[in-house]
Amino acid sequence: MRLTPDDVVDERDWVRERADVVVPLINDLRAEFTELFDTDVDPVAPAAYREEVDAVFADGDLAVNVAALVRLLRELDVETDYPGFVVDELLGRRLAGMIAGNQPLGLLGEAAFHYADARHHPPDATAGSDDLEAALSAGFQTRLPGWDWTEGPSPFRVGQ
């Protein structure tokens, strides 16, 4: 696979255009996490998702890696799927973590990916496509504002 700057733009555009699929998945995850963790998590609007996609792709080093993982997952299919289970899980997990951000958000994005992936199985999905949608929803739901604990300074910071 070869990626050029134009290819990265194409992948960014594709990810932005998936708002109609990804944003409902984000909001479903956040609703479930509200219940599971006994906290309030704000829903995400399509415009906020698209803005955050733009922010991810504005960082060139991150953009090329996210674009590569997106493209790999878009093209990945394995006959009977099970033999490819490991590779689509690996790629999806890493994509969610990259999108989510630095630690601890990266790890939270990876954990959210497994939760999303276990619940998201569109009937016409390929081995990589359902993991791609789960990764995008997990990574962006972790990255986007709306979690109370990420609003404001940490009570555990030392110093100023």
Output the pTM of the full model.
Answer: 0.93
Q: For residue range 90-134, list pLDDT tens digits in order.
A: 999 999 999 999 999 999 999 999 999 988 877 787 778 889 999
CB-CB contact of 45 with 23 (8 Å) = yes
Q: Which two tokens stand for residue 148?
A: 């109370």
* Separation between Cα atoms, residue 58 and residue 112, nearest integer Å: 24
